[in-house]
Amino acid sequence: MKAVFCNKLGGPENLDVSETKAPTPGPKEVHIRVKAAGLNFADTLQIAGKYQSKLEPPFIPGMEVAGEIIGIGSDVTRPLTAGQRVMAFMRGGGAFAEEALVDNEWLVPIPDEMDDITAAGFPTVYGTSNFALKHRGQLKKDETLLVLGAAGGVGLTAVELGKHMGARVIAAAGGPEKCDVALKHGADFAIDYKVESIKDRVREITDGIGADVVYDAVGGDAFDQAIRAVNWEARILIIGFASGRIPQVPANLILVKNISVVGVVYGAQTEKDPAYGASFVQEAADLYRHGAVKPYTGKVFQLENADEAMKALLSREYAGKIILVT
């Protein structure tokens, strides 16, 4: 089978496609013929050796997969069958290949209405946002949710899910086209942070009250502004640092408004309790089935062009998800 290998830690230029032996499932694993795989910023960190769970080269990256079952481990008791279409989050990598092994508890059946490309970009981002807003952020109806990086793969799902939960959603994105995408996916207001102040606009929109929950997958300057535009007892959800700068949190600002800065590591939570982690994806899949969420794919690349796909992700040129197809 063909697979993308990271042979040396660093940038996308270190990714190579080569032939390798097809894997054999362990007792609790499921063997999948990969149809498509989603890219996430965590993949860029993993190939650079900067992700929380580190892998030693050579390894096959990729944490998000969609395909069909071609083999089932001997100890798998779930009602799974050969040929069944499934999607999964794979924190340990392995998705950027023609075949992959997945822990059976991480699998979620793909709705009949969902195509493989959409499914490949679904588990990580919708699982992360559903877990973040419900479990960590405790977002309530009629609260104000500020989403930073709102047109990105994970940010756009936070816009959709926040709106579904009954929140007023403010989307902060870079450029008018990305703001338009966020508005079309349910945001009530959009802030173009390339030309507008996040802090000033949030205060203006909320009549000086500020956001109740901040969903931050960006870090950097956007975080610095957002923490100064929150309500009393706000919750700031730390998802990631797509800007490349990890912000330093001013403790005095946390103190004066009883702010909670909350870490969100969906992958680690899924490892600790796979069934619980997968339940957030299943919930989102049910919403998709009923038309409540509409995943957005920004660009599709062939598996052989994984390096170009990763560069496109790092450029933050495209809204929505970037997908590899086999």
**pLDDT tens column, 16-28:** 999 999 999 999 9
Tell whether 316 is covered by a domain.
Answer: yes
Q: What is the token pair recorded at 272?
A: 């600790």
Tell whether 274 is covered by a domain.
Answer: no
Residue 271 has pLDDT above 90, yes or no: no
Q: Lowest mean pLDDT: which of 43-47, 186-190, 203-207? A: 43-47
Tell whether 273 is covered by a domain.
Answer: no
The whole-chain average pLDDT of the chain stands at: 94
Predicted local distance difference test score (pLDDT) of residue 311? 95
Q: Tens digits of per-residue pLDDT, 256-266?
A: 999 999 999 98
Quote the number of domains for the chain: 2
- State whether 116 and 143 are in the same domain: no
Q: Tens digits of per-residue pLDDT, 82-92?
A: 999 999 988 78
Predicted local distance difference test score (pLDDT) of residue 160? 97
Q: Tens digits of per-residue pLDDT, 95-131?
A: 999 999 999 998 999 999 999 999 999 999 999 999 9
Print the domain residue range for 162: 125-266
CATH number of the domain bearing residue 147 = 3.90.180.10
Q: Tens digits of per-residue pLDDT, 209-256?
A: 999 999 999 999 999 999 999 999 999 999 998 888 999 888 999 999
302 Cα distance to chain centroid? 20
Tell me how far apart the alpha carbons of residues 242 and 41 are, in angstroms, rounded to a whole number.
7
Residue 44 has pLDDT above 80, yes or no: yes
- State whether 42 and 96 are in the same domain: yes
Q: Is 310 helix (H, G, I), strand (E, B) or coil?
A: helix
Question: Which residue, among 121, 162, 176, has the nearest Cα to 298 in the 3D structure?
Answer: 121
- State whether 131 and 213 are in the same domain: yes
Tell me how far apart the alpha carbons of residues 47 and 7 are, in angstroms, rounded to a whole number.
9
Q: Which residue, of 266, 283, 309, is where some domain finishes? A: 266
Residue 52 has pLDDT above 80, yes or no: no
- State whether 133 and 251 are in the same domain: yes
- State whether 135 and 116 are in the same domain: no
- State whether 134 and 14 are in the same domain: no
Q: What is the token pair recorded at 310?
A: 């990763």
Question: Which residue, among 95, 163, 154, 102, has the nearest Cα to 128 in the 3D structure?
Answer: 154
Tell whether 288 is covered by a domain.
Answer: no
Tell whether 63 is covered by a domain.
Answer: yes
Report how far apart, in Å, the C-alpha atoms of 18 and of each of 59, 256, 304 are.
12, 55, 9
- State whether 216 and 112 are in the same domain: no
Contact 8, 14 (CB under 8 A): yes
Tell me how far apart the alpha carbons of residues 166 and 160 are, in angstroms, rounded to a whole number.
10
Instruction: Give this prediction's pTM.
Output: 0.90
Q: Tens digits of per-residue pLDDT, 158-181?
A: 999 999 999 999 999 999 999 999
Element (H, E) at 65: strand 64-72
